[in-house]
């Protein structure tokens, strides 16, 4: 489960490990990694960042959609 206080950090893979820029995280801190395509970089707007954090919070609360239902709805759409 995620703490409600979240941080966004950037970094890169060095020798097979994620090396973050900026302030270090405490040892054992759970993290999620979203990787950009090698040919592109991306930045999130504050609104996009808020959407990701809200979606993560929804998942933590168990507010999920079954994959079969999602696929069925996508096929209809």
Q: What is the pLDDT of residues 46-68, one digit of tens each?
A: 898 888 888 888 888 888 878 88
The range of the structural domain enclosing residue 15 comes to 11-76
Quick check: is 23 in a domain?
A: yes
Classified as helix, coil or strand, 13 is strand
Residue 45: CA atoms inside 13 Å, Cβ hemisphere, count? 3
Q: Does residue 4 belong to any structural domain of this protein? A: no
Per-residue model confidence as pLDDT tens digits over 3-59: 456 677 888 889 998 888 888 888 888 888 877 777 666 788 889 888 888 888 888
11: closest CA among 29, 27, 34, 30?
34
Residues 76, 53: Cα–Cα separation, whole Å: 28
Whether residue 65 contacts residue 37, with contact meaning beta carbons closer than 8 Å, is answered with no
- Domain assignment present for 22: yes
Domain count along the chain: 1
């Amino acid at each position: 489960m995620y703490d409600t206080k979240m941080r966004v950090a950037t970094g890169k893979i060095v020798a097979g490990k994620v090396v973050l820029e900026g302030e270090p995280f405490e040892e054992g801190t759970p993290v999620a990694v979203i990787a950009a395509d090698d040919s592109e970089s991306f930045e999130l707007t504050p609104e996009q960042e808020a959407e990701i954090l809200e979606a993560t919070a929804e998942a933590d609360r168990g507010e999920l959609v079954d994959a079969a239902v999602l696929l069925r709805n996508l096929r209809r759409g």
